[in-house]
Structure 1
Amino acid sequence: MFACQSLSREHDLDRFSCGKEELDTWLRRSALHARSNNTAATFVWCEEGRREVAAYYSFTSLTLEREELPKPMARGGMQRVPAVLLARLALDTRYQGQGLGPVLLVDSFERALTGNEVFAVRFFVMDALDEEAHTFYEKHGFRGIPGSMRLYRKMSDIARTMA
């Protein structure tokens, strides 16, 4: 079983490989620095009693301009719409193919909903790295923003599905 915790210097990042070099490199070189600068918060999965990272995801805040949103999203009168950005989500190749990707995504939903009780946001947003990721998020209820790799879900919809 996995334990989810905030990334710290105690975690072993050296063997992490999700098959996407950009995600691997960011975890090793930038995640702790982003946390210390308060630009992203990273959470890691480790097997119980171990420090080796099996998966991770990172959040940052985002403000969406109403005019950049599809009409159904732009309702509500706000010029700037608060959101949480799931900046990265990755599962080590050793654990891929076991149905853990959706479990990791649900874990990120739960953490975002907890944060939403304190810092209200309207949307949960994801910028897909590639078509494979885009398809994964669409399968899990995200809607694409035309002309981009950005996808979103309303926080209220996530809360309803998690209840």
Structure 2
Amino acid sequence: MTHQDRFEAIYDAYYPAVHQYAARRAGSADDTADVISETFLTAWRRIDDVPDGERALLWLYGVARRVLANQLRGASRRAVLADRLRDELAASRPVTPADLEHVRAAFDELPERDREVLALACWERLTSEQIAKVLGCTAIAARTRLHRARKRLAARLGRPAFSTISMGEA
């Protein structure tokens, strides 16, 4: 019996079982077709490794199981990459004049004390120690003022937290 004859015999005998195995576990008809084709492609390439008789079916199930696991890992990686790309695109969204006006209005509503500490941190890029020297207070007091000012600005912007916007050292 040639390799091709042996493969065809295995394919004819076990295709329905492999199809059912894959269909019950795959997420779609396309995934099922991919599992079947990868399983039998592996059998073709490794025809000398395929056991004789009904043990061939168990071998094919093992191959199909690994193909399904690879599909799942691939789908998981694609989902993680898609989420990361979505986050990066959202983060790199161009700032519009309306966005700037919204932030400017919220900033202008703050008390002068909050505006000054935020301006020193954001515009001048000063650390809390440097802000403390400008304001004539301790570094701890400067950090506290900055934290409270950020929270008040976030509240005016309608955001639960303001930690994602960099305004110098906390």
TM-score interval for Structure 1 and Structure 2 normalised by the shorter chain: under 0.3
More RCO (CA 8 Å, sep 6+): 1
State TM-score, norm by structure 2. Answer: 0.22
Which protein is richer in helix relative to its size?
A: 2
So what's the TM-score if we normalise by structure 1?
A: 0.23
Q: Quick check: which one's strand share is greater?
A: 1
Q: Which has the larger radius of gyration?
A: 2
